[in-house]
Amino acid sequence: MGGSLKLALEIKSGHDDVIRGLGQLTAALAHGYNSAALVVSLRHAKKLNLTAFSGHNIVVLSPYGVGESSGIVKVNVAPWF
């Protein structure tokens, strides 16, 4: 206990540059953040090569749908810490 957790969060819309977002998250990890999350559309998430995230503290999250059945999908299983 007593330690603090710093999580970098990058949210990208359908028109944003996902690669730039990854650069931002990598810079945050290099400057003391413990973990990072990239939030992208499901369309963008399906295009990503998720093996590129294994071994790094970056997780990809994607919201899906609207209404009652909407939610968040954790697209890969990269460790948080």
Question: Would you say residue 80 lies in a domain?
Answer: no
Predicted pLDDT at 81:
40
Predicted pLDDT at 8:
92
Q: Domain limits at 69? A: 7-74
Number of structural domains (the chain) is 1
Question: Would you say residue 31 lies in a domain?
Answer: yes
Question: Would you say residue 81 lies in a domain?
Answer: no
Question: Would you say residue 1 lies in a domain?
Answer: no
Letter string b/e over residues 45-77, b meaning 16 or more CB atoms within 10 A of that residue's CB? beebeeeebeeebbbbbbeeeeeeeeeeeebbe
Q: What is the pTM of this model?
A: 0.72
Predicted pLDDT at 78:
44
Question: Would you say residue 79 lies in a domain?
Answer: no
Question: Would you say residue 28 lies in a domain?
Answer: yes
Question: Would you say residue 27 lies in a domain?
Answer: yes
Predicted pLDDT at 79:
46
Write out residues in the chain with pLDDT < 70, as ranges.
1-3, 54, 64-81
